[in-house]
Chains A and B, each alone.
Chain A
Amino acid sequence: MNQISRSLPPSLKSAIDEAVRSLHQRVPAAIGCVVATVDGRLVAQVVDNGADPQRIAAMIGSMVALGETIGREVRIDRSDYVVVNALNGILLAQRVPARRELFVVSTLARTTTNLGILLHETRTTAAEIGRAVDAWLDHYQAAAAAAAAAH
């Protein structure tokens, strides 16, 4: 169930692609949106500034996991999101909340962006993708149950 094939189920891939495009449009100063698996494989991306989406995918996988590990280690509980506030931009990354948390989403924006808006829009997109993941899991489990019943 953890496995994401190299080609995602088309319905899920389509939903994630659309969510990424929408996020990129909703945040005016956005210069990139990337969805990756939790282990750092690129799933969907819109990146305008020449940064390598494959590397962003791997890095946000590391960042989110490290943020969660640090949160546990310093006893402030689970990390909700991780922010890199740099001279010329902001990167915000978080897990996609779903029954199986298999994806991370990140938004890269110019410093003119309000961090609150960036967080709100990224969270909204994460929730949207999470619903698509849950729908995919429902479909997968129903198909598996039907196949088992047929045998």
Chain B
Amino acid sequence: MKIDPIHQFNIEPLFTLGHIGNHTIAFTNSSLYMLVAVAIIALLMLASGSQLVPGRLQSVAEISYEFVASTIRSTAGAEGMKFFPLIFSLFMFICVSNLVGIIPYTFTVSSHLIVTVGLALLVFFTVLIYGVAKNGLKFFSIFVPHGVPGYILPLVMFIEILSFFLRPVSHSIRLFANMLAGHIALKVFAGFVAMLGFSLGAVGWVGGVLPLALTIALYALEILVAFLQAYVFAILTCIYLNDAIHPGH
């Protein structure tokens, strides 16, 4: 019995969609779980009814709505509500796909760097394009903090510009690394249980209790992380968008 904590991240093409250049575009298990996440969100938001007194499902839909809306209002102000659909889509997509991915034998979409990079770059270019379109060159005043003495201003500006362009990197790697690490840790500890049980017999069954307890604890933590990383991704998006909306601050 060998632990293979990486197998869960394999991309398996289910069928080929076409070719772009020399790349083969396939519908993969990752695509399937993206579709599942979209379907769950659509089902939750659209099939939950619009009663005056909400049922359970409708309550969940309305709580998600209010949660994202209040996050945007508190970090990016009322003007940030322009980006409500984008941030809601990001939050729900990441949250639902993470929560689906935590179920054993499923696939976690955001455990692949390319997906989180795609989402982070979407946010980065939205901020850049909207910021420049709305504020013109004034947008770049976010690189010039107020009240910095002239002689260190070039250094501060350099750091500000660097951190601005590193945003998509940290934004994407944070989500990717959290999901990847969590899933590997879960798999490793769960693998210990099986390994002990199969190799050491009765002693192993007793010895497996500890990694089993750890697996359960980790699993609970991963559920929290699945939600929390979606929230972190959404709130960072709000903060970045706030720069584009109010570059003076």
Decide whether A and B assemble into one complex.
no
Interface residues of B, Cβ cutoff 8 Å to A: none
